[in-house]
Amino acid sequence: FQKHEFFVDMTCEGCSNAVTRVLHRLGGESFDIDLPNKKVCIDSEHNIDTLLETLKKTGKNASYLGEKSAQ
């Protein structure tokens, strides 16, 4: 799986819950939400467009930051 990093304009716990909800609906995703830095890191076989569309379903401003290299 590729690790992708996205910016999502999250301001509170409710925002991160919305992100969790849409990603769970997509299925099979493993992800980390970094609320203070407004970042979502997703391990996925889905393409970037699909992931971005999914994140935008939260109604939040979202953008792709790039690939995250495996630590």
Q: What is the CATH number of domain 2-68?
A: 3.30.70.100
Q: What is the pLDDT of residues 37-67, one digit of tens each?
A: 999 999 998 999 999 999 999 999 999 999 9
Q: What residue ranges do the domains of the chain occupy?
A: 2-68
Q: What is the pLDDT of residues 11-20, one digit of tens each?
A: 999 999 999 9
* Amino acid identity for residue 24 in this structure: H
pLDDT at 51: 96
pLDDT at 71: 55
Q: What is the DSSP string of the chain?
A: -EEEEEEE---SHHHHHHHHHHHHHH-S-EEEEETTTTEEEEEESS-HHHHHHHHHTTTS-EEEEEEPPP-
Q: Pick 42 or 2 by higher pLDDT.
A: 42
pLDDT at 70: 60
